[in-house]
A and B are shown apart, each in its own frame.
Chain A
């Protein structure tokens, strides 16, 4: 097995220690940091995403895989030069105002990061104006909005209204959110779960 294959396997099995060691080893062998991410870490997370979507693994396994991926990213990321950032795009993600629920949102962030996106997680209880500020600062291609409560879903609409004058696509999700609701409020995409959030993001950046 190649070093990169071994790294992917360690991401899949959630072994943070092993991923860290293999990342250090890969650097010591002179591998380019971006290659380590693209050929070692991301392929592992891609498999994790596919298995999650197929109900072969569940949230605990995804979390330990994401942590393992981060153990590798922490080693190689500081060595990336600005020119190296060949990520697929930037996504700003947050839970809308009035809503503190973050488990689903965090899973989406992990999956997007694992798929090669630069993810700016701006947290929970995020007001529409804060989303706008994050868009101005980070110039993302996509903004992801999360809500768990029917009483906070309205803040998705308010946020989308404010974001209309910016060149970003908006993706929404969360337990009470449906495809129909997403269309009604003018979102560009709806994702039912963290794995399909990656599919929707891929479609949005391709469109």
Chain B
């Protein structure tokens, strides 16, 4: 069988059709990208060190064997370094670098109690032209051969709580404070505008998301999710599909979110990500059986154990098991459940891509 273009391979899989082999869409942490880039002789600098790493390291990832390219919104105003060394972004969130991550330490809505307070804060302009310059270039460069994934994780819940601070946000939500619902609407509208623009530019997939799971279960009750978030997700997805009926919606939520998967399908999610294997109940084989005729899966490879701590042989076995669980008939894009962490050996990364070729070629042969 002639090999498909990566773009065709990826799109067939997310359309629940069987491609020539299981496609791959992995992402890297900057430390891993640097190691790989040096070894492969490819550029490894992030496109913008303060934007999602999911839109960076493209040349390395394609050389390794990714079938899709991540694009995403840039900034209207650049992130600035304050005199004390901390970073301030265009949302007015202040970050401190600790270890390998920048973590928010000052939130612009930390004191927000009322709609009046909220009105004193303005979200940036979602449609600022500078926000889409990079995305536009990347689409022009990669669209012919690769599927384009518009990264818009932190769609409603996460961007909102990032502005407020998580504990206050969760408490205010439990107490039903009015400002909070208005904030959720404004944030949803902000990201809807960005997503629609990414679709107009050529995104085949919009990768939405909000982390609703912890390692052990839901962070908020399924009822609270259904009352507060589900209607807003439904509207956002409707707007995306109006912009292009063929666009596929991938949904990212870390952790264990078993009770709401059916809800996500109902509001129009086409691809579930990342199906974090060590989170309670996130059983890819079971999900394939239960939901596999309605949604595709993106993810599944363990970044909390096998990838950083296993041997290349363990990684090969992990890939084999995930393909065995979800590969049948298409509908599966193999990916690590999070950006590959700095404690992962290059050998394990190569082993992952090799194993997909070995075990993921259709017809599957186990």
Chain A residues proximal to chain B, CB less than 8 Å:
14, 55, 57-61, 63-64, 67, 97-101, 103-104, 106, 124-125, 149-152, 175-176, 178, 192-193
Contact = CB atoms under 8 A, between A and B. Distances in A.
Interface in B56-71: none
Contact of A63 (B96, B174, B214, B303): B174
Given A58-B221, A61-B174, A106-B167, A125 B216 contact: no
Interface stretch (B78-86, B97-105, B284-292, B323-331): B97-105
Contact of B98 (A106, A125, A176): A125
Given A125-B98, A150-B343, A55 B217 contact: yes
A98 to B, nearest CB: 3
Given A14-B174, A149-B341, A176-B304, A59 B215 contact: no
A150 B221 contact: no
Contacts of B101: 100, 149
B100 A64 contact: no
B171 A64 contact: yes
A64 B342 contact: no
Given A59-B219, A99-B98, A176 B305 contact: yes
30 contacts: A14-B175, A55-B217, A58-B219, A58-B220, A59-B170, A59-B220, A60-B173, A61-B174, A63-B170, A63-B171, A64-B175, A98-B99, A100-B96, A100-B99, A100-B101, A103-B166, A125-B98, A149-B99, A149-B100, A149-B341, A150-B303, A150-B304, A150-B309, A151-B100, A151-B342, A175-B214, A175-B255, A178-B278, A193-B214, A193-B215
Interface centre among B166, B167, B220, B224 (most CB of A within 10 A): B167
Nearest to A103: B166
Interface in B266-293: 278
B118 interface: no
Nearest to A150: B308
Interface of B: 96, 98-101, 103, 166-167, 170-171, 173-175, 214-221, 224, 255, 278, 303-305, 308-309, 341-343
A101 to B, nearest CB: 8
Contacts of B309: 150
A109 to B, nearest CB: 12
A149 B304 CA distance: 8
A67 to B, nearest CB: 7
B254 to A, nearest CB: 9
Nearest to B309: A150
Contacts of B173: 60
A58 B304 CA distance: 24
B171 A175 contact: no
A151 B343 contact: yes
Given A59-B219, A98-B98, A176 B174 contact: no
A117 B341 CA distance: 36
A67 B171 contact: yes
Contacts of A60: 170-171, 173-174, 220, 224
Contact of B167 (A61, A63, A98): A63
Given A150-B343, A175-B214, A193-B214, 8 more contacts: A14-B171, A63-B171, A64-B174, A97-B99, A149-B99, A151-B308, A178-B305, A192-B215
B99 A151 contact: yes
A55 B219 CA distance: 10
A60 B228 CA distance: 13
Nearest to A192: B216
A37 B78 CA distance: 50
Going nearest first, the 4 A-B pairs with the smallest beta carbon separation are A98-B99, A60-B174, A100-B103, A60-B170
A175 B304 CA distance: 8
Contacts of A67: 171
User: Most chain-B CB neighbours within 10 Å: which of A55, A106, A124, A175?
Assistant: A175
A124 B170 CA distance: 21
Nearest to B255: A175
B166 to A, nearest CB: 6
A106 to B, nearest CB: 7
A99 B218 CA distance: 23
A192 B278 CA distance: 12
A40 to B, nearest CB: 21
